[in-house]
Amino acid sequence: MKPVSNTPDWVLAALETRRQQNLMREAVTLQSPQVPHTHINNQPFTAFCSNDYLGLANHPQLIKAMQDAALQYGVGGGSSHLVCGHLAPHQALEDALADWLGYERVLLFSTGYMANLGVISALAGKQRPVLQDKLNHASLIDGAMLAQAPLRRYLHADVTSAEKRLSKSNQAGLLVTDGVFSMDGDIAPLTSLSGLASQHDWVFMVDDAHGVGCLGESGRGAMALAGLTSAHVPLLVGTFGKAFGTAGAFVATSHDFADYLTQFARPYVYTTSMSPAMTGATLASLQLIQGEEGQVRRAKLAEHIVYFRQRMQVLPVELMPSNTAIQPIVLGDSQRALRVSEQLRSLGIWCTAIRPPTVPVGGARLRITLSAAHSHADLVLLCDALERVLAVDLCC
């Protein structure tokens, strides 16, 4: 007897629409650590889609630090930071991050999504609007929606468009941008945006999830690359799941803002703290990023970026204007992006096709991400495969 489905028709219809539009998403299971040479479905691949930009996710020093922290403090936070979940490793990491980034305080969050939801929903509201870049991460947009704040969006990285929006508002609020844009790889015009925020008495917030660890002096991110300090960017959000190679997030800010968020940022107040074991690993990662090994890895990543862009210049494809680890190749329609991704897999290259609604309609792409853990031979393999696949695809 065939089982009776209790799934509503509207759910089935939405799924079918996604299938028809080549937009269905599915998880794949890796059978190895987060390293360039991985196994998926028992097949070997060289992966170019991880955000492990510095190649620290499987670093032995992080593994040991996590084990040591777990032995001393356990693996669970046990409670929220404000009940009994704020352990010594949390405080040590907050202090180290604040000192490194030049801020008075740092608050830890379990994920970057929660950090952005927490900060924006606490600071924005019906009387405090939010102005955001058109291509900001979904978590930033959702934070404004959660706050029920008036939300305006300016043209991507367009300071003139942002200024027009600010000038039309009769209420001061929150000006928010990514530091490095996750799907395009370009860097926001932080200096100009900071000046606009100051001129109009708005609070400036930067989510530098993809820049911290990789860019600027000692890896302090896009803000440091632009020569900005905490005086220019009152609220800096960063994550540990990318260059740090661990998990979790933080907001760096002033004592006053930190006290305010401690009272009103609901994802901070009502969520169990991140694992003290993970916190120990993240502190070890920070020390690597700050030291000589971090410099070496950033330099290697920069070499990979230069080589990749030089090789891609000869191909008749749209390469985004990015000097970061994120190197997207825009292919247009979703079906083509899926086809090229599958052809690369047949050559041992794993690079996921990114499609709407993650990117705009007509902007489906290969979001190629480079890592310091890649070898030069890996880059040669990738570029040779792209030349071969794209040459065939363009002929068809």
Encode pLDDT of 214-250 as tens digits: 999 999 999 999 999 999 999 999 999 999 999 999 9
Q: Which CATH architecture has domain 60-290?
A: 3-Layer(aba) Sandwich (3.40)
Mean pLDDT, the chain, whole residue set: 94
Q: Which helix or strand (DSSP H or E) is residue 347 part of?
A: none
Whole-prediction pTM? 0.94
Q: Name the residue ranges covered by the structural domains of the chain.
A: 26-53+296-395, 60-290
Active site residue 164: no
Residue of 59, 90, 242, 304 marked catalytic: 242
Known catalytic membership, residue 210: yes
pLDDT digits over 295-354, tens only? 999 999 999 999 999 999 888 887 889 999 999 999 988 899 999 999 999 999 999 999
Quote the CA–CA distance of 396 and 380 in Å, as a whole number.
25
User: For residue 369, what are the β-bridge partners?
Assistant: 326
Phi, then psi, of 254 in degrees rounded to 5:
-90, 170
Residue 355: how many other CB atoms lie within 10 Å: 23
- Residues at the annotated binding site for substrate? 25, 137, 358
pLDDT tens for the 396 residues of the chain, in order? 566 678 998 999 999 999 998 888 888 888 888 899 999 988 999 999 999 999 999 999 999 999 999 999 999 999 999 999 999 999 999 999 999 999 999 999 999 999 999 999 999 999 999 999 999 999 999 999 999 999 999 999 999 999 999 999 989 999 999 999 999 999 999 999 999 999 999 999 999 999 999 999 999 999 999 999 999 999 999 999 999 999 999 999 999 999 999 999 999 999 999 999 999 999 999 999 999 999 999 999 999 999 999 999 888 887 889 999 999 999 988 899 999 999 999 999 999 999 999 898 989 999 999 999 999 999 999 999 999 998 776 655
Determine which one of 210, 232, 300, 374 is catalytic.
210
Q: Please tell us whether the domain made up of 26-53+296-395 is placed in CATH 2.40.50.180.
A: no
H-run or E-run covering 327: strand 326-332
State the first-to-last Cα distance of the chain, in angstroms, to the nearest integer: 47
Amino acid at 298: R
- Where does residue 342 fall: left (phi above 0), alpha (psi -120 to 50 degrees), or beta otherwise? alpha
Binding-site members for pyridoxal 5'-phosphate are 112-113, 182, 210, 239
Sequence letter at residue 288: L
Binding residues: 25, 112-113, 137, 182, 210, 239, 358
Q: Are 173 and 151 in contact (CB under 8 A)?
A: no
User: How many Cβ atoms sit within 10 Å of the Cβ of residue 391?
Assistant: 11
Separation between Cα atoms, residue 124 and residue 105, nearest integer Å:
20
What's the pLDDT tens digit per position in 32-52? 888 999 999 889 999 999 999
